[in-house]
Amino acid sequence: MRIIKRNGSEVTFDVQKIIVAIQKANVTVDPKRRLSQAQIDDCATAVEAECEVCGHTPTVEEVQDMVEVQIMAKGAFTVAKNYITYRYVQSLKRQTNTTDNRILSLIECNNEDVKQENSNKNPTVNSVQRDYMAGEVSKDLAMRLFLPQDVVEAHEEGIIHFHDADYFAQHMHNCDLVNLDDMLQNGTVISGTLIEKPHSFSTACNIATQIIAQVASSQYGGQSISLTHLAPFVDVSRKRIHKELKRELEKIHVDISAEQLASLVEERVRDEIKRGVQTIQYQVVTLMTTNGQAPFVTVFMYLNEAQSEQEKKDLALIIEETLKQRFEGVKNEAGVWVTPAFPKLIYVLEPDNLTPDAPYYYLTQLAAKCTARRMVPDYISEKKMREYKLSKGETEGNGDCYTCMGCRSFLTPDRSGNGYDNVQRAKNYKPGKPVYYGRFNQGVVTINLPDVALSSGGDMKAFWELFDERLDLCYRALMCRHNRLKGTISDAAPILWQYGALARLDKGEVIDSLLYGGYSTISLGYAGLYECVRYMTGASHTDEVATPFALSIMQHMNDKCTEWKEATNIDFSLYGTPLESTTYKFAKSLQRRFGIIEGVTDKGYITNSYHVHVSEKIDAFTKLKFESEFQRLSPGGAISYVEVPNMQGNLDAVMSVLQFIYDNIMYAELNTKSDYCQECGFDGEIRIVEDDHKLVWECPKCGNRDQSKLNVARRTCGYIGTQFWNQGRTEEIRDRVLHL
């Protein structure tokens, strides 16, 4: 059994240390009030037994709480008092160097919390450690200086989660949709160098990867680009290749027909597309941004976004090549093709690609084949999105279709009616057209819904009163995020605010005009709807007796966002938080505060957003249909998934799921497995096993448990993770049942 020390490192549980600690408190009191050695041993044994069944790796603080309870249970109140006093004195001493200890522990790679905070960061790499060190300082400043004490206490208790405190000291925002079209068509500046409009598709792809890297280094969340913005450069290359080829043939006095010339041109165009797409895939995978990881970038593939039929055909060529290359994968250090984490791909299902008689149906077949092997692309239904996302003056079914920012956070529809009057000063502004590219999210604060339920004791009246109190706390925390961005000058991130990614403001100008009126959003996150409803009603939210209560919770949070928006002119939006490490933090907090409650706090994780519990047996179609109700009530961000076995031999089933997605839910994905053992070459599913109360990954063929020699890719919370996970998330991955 293991225990987590205060600096985040894990050590073997030693019951003797508990005995020694009680003995030290025991000798400080009158002999008549002391515990006997047998009683001390009983206390230590009881604590050890409680740790064995607590469902997670306990912290030192949790163990000390258990010790206090056991001492008092023996009636030795004076001993307990002295034990508590000793803890308090030691705590005061530690307050002066907590940050130092955490930094030192992460440098030595023995801080388990930090090591497993992000499943796409390798904590042994210097650049990652440097980012984590800066993050620890930022967290310290945020908690001591920038945030109200009640917000800090609620965050530390797991009542809410103030996301990305490790970047809060700087004036940085969360995620965005990069206006790649403006930057490529009208030029940009990268590291002080003027980048003009490219003269070929391959050059455009190269510039795009440089923009992605610069943007990723200027913010802390995900970014999205559209392949549509690269499509015009295919014809630029086509015309250049046509001229070059014609000139070459004239030089050697070869005369061919126009049809033959066109065929040769298209062959070279396809070759250039292949090289350009390869540049994006390999550059994104191999780039290391200033925060020590590959850029969290999403690539959007939407045929109806093209501006002409020729552009649509060229876009189809790019999408086809992108899918082919992702299906192939990338080679790991052993030279084996494996699944990369990035870029994330999103494919839009639309009438032109959905049925066998549609002109681009072959692309959807290719997408299905790719998903079955590599877990991407994910899918947006144009039909459902145009029902949900209505800009000013639009009607249901005729709304907008656009990509999310990163893995699931969606911008609110354009409520300005005129593209926000080009407040961002983009050079590709079109009056009267809804604007999405160039917009961003200010940040997230998440409410722990099960904690609201448990704190109410199951009393409905108390629940709604406490819910409002907690939402008010979230509002004030979100305003801290907003106010931290206010007054930020454009010079803080020139690629974002001056050179077109998000705006073209003047040097020295503040970004405040972009924080209001809906141009940017700010997100109220939520987690654990299932556990919340289960505690209050005794049933899963999929049960018809509990579903109305679950929907009323969602509606109440939406109503609060509307109320806050009307009061501030800031677009608050409800966001289904993609918990990664925080799922474990919330679960441990609930267990510490309320104990083990079957079906509610008996796991090392809580359920993401509105999702059906990972262990609940439900078929894919029922799950997607059920969750679509909740997805619509999560306009600031949501994604649903179905867990599937290896589907590479059953693509017809994948296609049937895609058809169902188009008709029933806005945004969904299929989760499969994509693993490889470098020790023995096994390429099936790497399994999760328990070893001394800790979950570890093991090759079922050779027993290899060395994570550095295992390639494991799993959908973590929207993105694919490849650097392994904390114990809570690992337990959640283990508990997932198949839906198909």
pLDDT 10s digits, 698-711: 999 999 999 889 99
Q: Say whether 634 sits in a helix, a strand or coil.
A: coil
- Respond yes or no: is residue 634 known to be catalytic: no
- How far is Cα 341 from Cα 298, in angstroms, rounded to an integer? 11
Question: Can you give the pLDDT at residue 716?
Answer: 78
pLDDT in tens, 337-355: 888 888 999 999 999 999 9
Q: What is the DSSP letter of 333?
A: T
- Active-site annotation holder among 220, 302, 575, 662: 575
Tokens 């049809």 appear where?
259
**CA distance readout (Å), 218 to 280, 290, 494:** 19, 9, 9
Q: Say whether 516 sits in a helix, a strand or coil.
A: coil
Task: Name, in order, each residue with C-beta under 8 angstroms of 684's C-beta and a sequence gap of 6 or more.
Answer: 673, 675, 700, 701
- Active-site annotation holder among 405, 532, 536, 647: 405
Lowest mean pLDDT among 11-15, 379-383, 438-442: 11-15
Lowest mean pLDDT among 82-91, 320-329, 553-562: 82-91
Question: Can you give the pLDDT at residue 726?
Answer: 82
pLDDT in tens, 128-156: 777 777 777 888 889 988 999 999 999 99
- Active-site annotation holder among 82, 105, 174, 674: 174
Kindly report the average pLDDT of the chain as a whole number: 91
Higher pLDDT residue, 274 or 295?
A: 274
| Cis before 343? omega within 30 | yes
- Respond yes or no: is residue 575 known to be catalytic: yes
Question: Can you give the pLDDT at residue 82?
Answer: 86
- Token output for 144: 């001591």
CA angle 652/688/106 to nearest 5° reads: 120
Question: Can you give the pLDDT at residue 708?
Answer: 87
Lowest mean pLDDT among 129-133, 316-320, 525-529: 129-133
- Active-site annotation holder among 62, 580, 643, 731: 580
Question: Can you give the pLDDT at residue 130?
Answer: 72
Question: Can you give the pLDDT at residue 545?
Answer: 98
Under the banding of pLDDT at 50, 70 and 90, the label for residue 2 is confident
Under the banding of pLDDT at 50, 70 and 90, the label for residue 673 is confident
Q: Parallel, antiparallel, or unpaired for β 440-448 and 160-162? A: antiparallel
Q: Say whether 130 sits in a helix, a strand or coil.
A: helix
Question: Can you give the pLDDT at residue 1?
Answer: 81
Return the number of other C-beta atoms located less than 10 Å from residue 324's C-beta: 14
CA angle 141/609/55 to nearest 5° reads: 80
Length of the chain equals 740
Q: Parallel, antiparallel, or unpaired for β 378-381 and 344-349? A: parallel
Under the banding of pLDDT at 50, 70 and 90, the label for residue 51 is confident
pLDDT tops 80 at residue 662? yes
pLDDT in tens, 589-605: 999 899 999 999 999 99
Under the banding of pLDDT at 50, 70 and 90, the label for residue 451 is very high
pLDDT tops 90 at residue 635? yes
147-174+441-667: CATH topology is Anaerobic Ribonucleotide-triphosphate Reductase Large Chain (3.20.70)
pLDDT tops 60 at residue 93? no
Q: Is the dihedral of CA 552, 558, 559, 561 positive or negative?
A: positive
Question: Can you give the pLDDT at residue 571?
Answer: 98
- Respond yes or no: is residue 55 known to be catalytic: no
- How far is Cα 122 from Cα 470, in angstroms, rounded to an integer? 35
344 and 298 Cβ atoms separated by less than 8 Å = yes
| Nearest by Cα to 709 from 677, 682, 686 | 677
Under the banding of pLDDT at 50, 70 and 90, the label for residue 489 is very high
274 and 328 Cβ atoms separated by less than 8 Å = no
- Active-site annotation holder among 329, 399, 718, 728: 718
Q: Give the mean pLDDT of 637-656.
A: 94
Question: Can you give the pLDDT at residue 290?
Answer: 53
Question: Can you give the pLDDT at residue 406?
Answer: 82
Question: Can you give the pLDDT at residue 44?
Answer: 93
Q: Is the dihedral of CA 330, 334, 336, 339 positive or negative?
A: negative
299 and 346 Cβ atoms separated by less than 8 Å = yes
- Token output for 722: 């490849």
Question: Can you give the pLDDT at residue 7?
Answer: 60
Under the banding of pLDDT at 50, 70 and 90, the label for residue 574 is very high
- Active-site annotation holder among 9, 441, 540, 581: 441
Under the banding of pLDDT at 50, 70 and 90, the label for residue 41 is very high
- Put residue 289 in one of left, alpha, beta given phi > 0 → left and psi -120 to 50 → alpha: beta
- Token output for 654: 């994948």
Under the banding of pLDDT at 50, 70 and 90, the label for residue 224 is very high
Percentage of the chain lying above the pLDDT 90 cut: 74
- Respond yes or no: is residue 407 known to be catalytic: yes
Question: Can you give the pLDDT at residue 107?
Answer: 58
27 and 39 Cβ atoms separated by less than 8 Å = no
| Nearest by Cα to 448 from 139, 155, 716, 117 | 155
Beta strands in 265-393 (DSSP E): 297-301, 330-331, 337-338, 344-349, 378-381
For residue 727, what is the enclosing H or E element?
helix 727-735
354 and 662 Cβ atoms separated by less than 8 Å = yes
- Respond yes or no: is residue 398 known to be catalytic: no
| Cis before 340? omega within 30 | no
- How far is Cα 209 from Cα 284, in angstroms, rounded to an integer? 7
**Domain locations along the chain:** 2-139, 147-174+441-667, 178-376, 673-740
Question: Can you give the pLDDT at residue 579?
Answer: 83
- Active-site annotation holder among 133, 175, 370, 401: 175
Please provide residue 411's backbone torsions phi and psi, each rounded to the nearest 5 degrees: -70, 155
Q: Give the mean pLDDT of 60-66.
A: 87
Tokens 């003995």 appear where?
23
Tokens 């086509």 appear where?
238
- Respond yes or no: is residue 576 known to be catalytic: no
Q: How far apart are the first and last CA of the chain?
A: 36
- Respond yes or no: is residue 718 known to be catalytic: yes
- How far is Cα 146 from Cα 208, in angstroms, rounded to an integer? 36
Beta strands in 561-707 (DSSP E): 571-576, 640-643, 667-671, 674-677, 687-691, 694-698
Look up the pTM and report it.
0.86
386 and 398 Cβ atoms separated by less than 8 Å = yes
pLDDT tops 70 at residue 291? no
pLDDT tops 80 at residue 89? no
- Active-site annotation holder among 9, 105, 218, 409: 409
Q: Give the mean pLDDT of 388-399.
A: 97
- Respond yes or no: is residue 175 known to be catalytic: yes
pLDDT tops 60 at residue 230? yes
Lowest mean pLDDT among 3-12, 209-218, 485-494: 3-12
Q: What is the DSSP letter of 144?
A: I
- How far is Cα 130 from Cα 123, in angstroms, rounded to an integer? 10
- Active-site annotation holder among 407, 480, 532, 699: 407
Question: Can you give the pLDDT at residue 116?
Answer: 52
- How far is Cα 569 from Cα 550, in angstroms, rounded to an integer? 28
Q: What is the full DSSP assignment across 490-511? A: GGGSHHHHTSSSS--PPTT-BS
Under the banding of pLDDT at 50, 70 and 90, the label for residue 248 is very high
665 and 622 Cβ atoms separated by less than 8 Å = no
Under the banding of pLDDT at 50, 70 and 90, the label for residue 558 is very high
445 and 524 Cβ atoms separated by less than 8 Å = yes
Q: What is the DSSP letter of 145?
A: I
Question: Can you give the pLDDT at residue 114?
Answer: 53
281 and 326 Cβ atoms separated by less than 8 Å = yes
424 and 503 Cβ atoms separated by less than 8 Å = yes
- Respond yes or no: is residue 480 known to be catalytic: no
Under the banding of pLDDT at 50, 70 and 90, the label for residue 106 is low
Q: Give the mean pLDDT of 535-559.
A: 98
Percentage of the chain lying above the pLDDT 70 cut: 93
Residue spans of alpha helices (H) in 544-619: 547-568, 582-594
pLDDT tops 60 at residue 94? no
> In terms of C-beta density within 10 A (0-12 exposed, 13-18 middle, 19 or more buried), how is residue 384 classed?
buried
